[in-house]
């Protein structure tokens, strides 16, 4: 079974080493992840997706110039680093990833960000599996920008592989990102990208 850009390979249990080799040799038009032991193919982002990421990048730079928001930095996630994810954004102290390879440890990451795509696996991938992987890696904040519902969901307080806190905000709301991020997002602009 060949995965499409919106599917995963059911029951495929890849070793981390095999996954990394496959990811290195995949075409640039494909982004691969290993989540819960399954090969995931992440869709190529559209223009609004990229524009929303740039909106967030500008806000982070304005409020926290001591931090960098890295697009699609490969992270070792989940228990014992058995997962590999490429969040749409990874917020960390400046120069945190200098000298790191393609897949960096999640230690020291302050926040991961996913901007949903319009595909049938977004619910499972971005709303369910990734929060567990990021929480299991003790990443303090996971921000989900959900374009389908026009909301931002802030996950915080990782504990035993789950985030204890989840707060949902509509586009246009002021969205407080808790410590260690400590930024309040002005989301009014996101109303321009609602469907």
Classified by CATH at the fold level, domain 45-193 comes out as tt1808, chain A (3.90.1570)
pLDDT of residue 89: 96
pLDDT of residue 47: 61
- Per the listing, tokens 């969040």 go with 87
Spatial separation of the C-alpha atoms in residues 33 and 56, rounded to whole Å: 23
Domain boundaries, the chain: 45-193
| Per-position pLDDT tens, the chain of length 195 | 344 444 444 444 667 677 667 667 666 666 665 666 666 666 566 668 889 999 999 999 999 999 999 998 999 987 655 788 889 999 999 999 999 988 999 999 999 999 988 766 665 677 878 898 999 999 999 999 999 899 999 999 999 989 999 999 999 999 999 999 999 999 999 999 887
9 close to 38: Cβ distance less than 8 angstroms: yes
132 close to 103: Cβ distance less than 8 angstroms: no
Spatial separation of the C-alpha atoms in residues 108 and 106, rounded to whole Å: 6
The full DSSP string for 150-193 is TEEEEEEEEETTEEEEEEEEETTSEEEEPTTT-EEEE-GGGGGG
Mapped onto helix, strand or coil, the DSSP state of residue 146 is: strand
Query: How many other β-carbons are positioned within 10 Å of the β-carbon of residue 96?
Result: 19
């Amino acid at each position: 079974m060949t995965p499409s850009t919106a599917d995963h390979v059911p029951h495929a249990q890849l070793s981390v080493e095999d996954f990394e080799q496959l990811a290195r040799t995949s075409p640039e038009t494909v982004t691969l992840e290993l989540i819960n032991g399954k090969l995931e193919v992440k869709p190529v982002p559209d223009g609004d997706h990229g524009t929303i990421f740039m909106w967030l990048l500008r806000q982070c730079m304005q409020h926290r110039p001591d931090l960098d928001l890295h697009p699609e930095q490969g992270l070792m996630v989940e228990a014992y680093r058995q997962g590999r994810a490429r969040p749409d954004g990874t917020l960390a102290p400046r120069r945190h990833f200098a000298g790191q390879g393609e897949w960096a440890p999640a230690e020291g990451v302050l926040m991961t960000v996913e901007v949903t795509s319009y595909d049938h696996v977004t619910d499972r991938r971005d709303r369910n599996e990734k929060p567990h992987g990021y929480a299991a890696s003790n990443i303090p904040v996971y921000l989900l920008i959900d374009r389908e519902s026009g909301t931002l969901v802030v996950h915080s307080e990782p504990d035993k592989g789950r985030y204890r806190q989840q707060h949902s905000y509509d586009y246009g709301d002021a969205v407080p990102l808790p410590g260690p991020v400590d930024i309040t997002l002005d989301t009014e602009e996101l109303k321009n990208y609602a469907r």
